[in-house]
Structure 1
Amino acid sequence: MITDGPMKILNVNTATATIKGAPQMIEKNMSEWTAEDKMKANLDNVAKDILYKTLDKNMFAKIKTCTNAKEIWENLTQLCEGNYQTKENKLTAAIQKFENDKIKPGETLTEFDERFIGIIIELISLGKYYSNREISLKVMRALPKE
C-alpha cells in the first residue's frame, strides 16, 4: 500500500480480445466483490490507520489531507528526510562536525564520548560509514595534547 498505492480490484474483461496473450483487466464493480476482494480493498485503510497511530498531533496536521497510505508515506518522507539536496546538506554538515570535533575544555571523556557517538549515529543515519580504525584515529586526534 505504501509503495504502490491502493489496491484496485480487477476482473478479466471478457468483451475484448487479449493484448499480446494477456487478458485485458478492468475494475470490478463493488457489487461483484467477494469477501477477499473487500479485505484487499480495505488494506489501504489499515495502512493509513497504522501510520496515523504513530504520529503526534503536529505531524498528523501536516498529512491529514492525504487520501491514501502511499501519499501519507511520501509526505512523511519529504517532511522527515527532505529532498536530495537537503540530505546532501545534512550529510555535509555532519561530516564537518565529525572532522572538526575536539574535546572541549572542562569536558569529561564520558561527555565527549556521548557527543561523539551522537555524531556517528547521525552520519550512519545519513548513509555515511567510517571504519573502526577511522573512528579510533579521529578520537585520538580529538583528545588534548596533555
Structure 2
Amino acid sequence: MASFNKIPMFSNEDYDDWKIRMQANLAAQDDDMWYIITDGPMKILKANKAAITTKGAPQMVETYRSEWTAEDKNKTNLDIIAKDILYKTLDKSMFAKIKTCTTAKEIWEKLTQLCEGNDQTKENKLNVAIKKFDNAKMKPEETLA
C-alpha cells in the first residue's frame, strides 16, 4: 500500500475542491479504497458447498475471520484506513458531527449531506444566491470599476 505525504485538510468553504482531492488521495492509497467509500467495508466471501442452487452458481457466504488470508485481512482493513484518513482531515467541530459514523462510507455520506445537502437544500441555496444577485445594488459611493 502506498503512503503519500499530504492529506487535503477539510474546508467547508472549499468543500468541492476538498472532495475531488480526497477522492484522488483515497484512490491512490489502494485500488479498492474508493470502493470502500462508495460501497462500504469489504466482506470476504466463499462458496457455500452445502447449498445447492438451481442456476448452477454457488451461494456465497461470509468467510470466518480464522480462514482469512493475509490479503483478505488487508482488504478488510481498508475501511479502518479510510476512516483514519478522513478523521485526520477534519477539525474538531466537524469531527464531532461524524464521530458516531461506523464506516468510511457513512462518514463520506454524512460530510456530503452536511456540505451539499439534499436536492431540496441545493435548490434553496441556488434560489437564495439568485435572489441576492438580483437584489444587488450599487452604493452611491461605488463606481462601476
TM-score (norm 2): 0.69
Q: 1:105 offset after TM fit, Å?
A: 3.0
State the AA in 1 paired with 2:66.
S
**Residue equivalent to 2:69:** 34
Q: 1:50 offset after TM fit, Å?
A: 1.3
Q: How does 1:24-103 map to 2 (within 5 A)?
A: 24-103=59-138
Corresponding position: 1:4 with 2:15: no
Q: How does 1:111-130 map to 2 (within 5 A)?
A: none
Cα 1:41–1:74 shift into 2, 3 Å:
same
TM-score (norm 1): 0.68
Q: Please, which runs of 5 or more residues in structure 1 have no aligned partner?
A: 111-146
Q: 1:49 offset after TM fit, Å?
A: 1.0
Identity between Structure 1 and Structure 2 (%): 75
Cα 1:98–1:66 shift into 2, 3 Å:
same
Q: How does 1:135-146 map to 2 (within 5 A)?
A: none
C-alpha distance after superposition, 1:37-66 (max 9, x if no partner) = 001100101111111111100000111111
Asked which structure has the greater CA Rg, the reply is 1
Mapped to 1, the partners of 2:137 and 2:77 lie a distance apart of: 54
Q: Which runs of 4+ in 1 moved over 6 A?
A: none
Question: Using CA pairs below 8 Å that are at least 6 residues apart, which structure has the higher relative contact order?
Answer: 2
Mapped to 2, the partners of 1:19 and 1:5 lie a distance apart of: 29
Corresponding residue SS for 1:16:
coil
Mapped to 1, the partners of 2:44 and 2:60 lie a distance apart of: 10
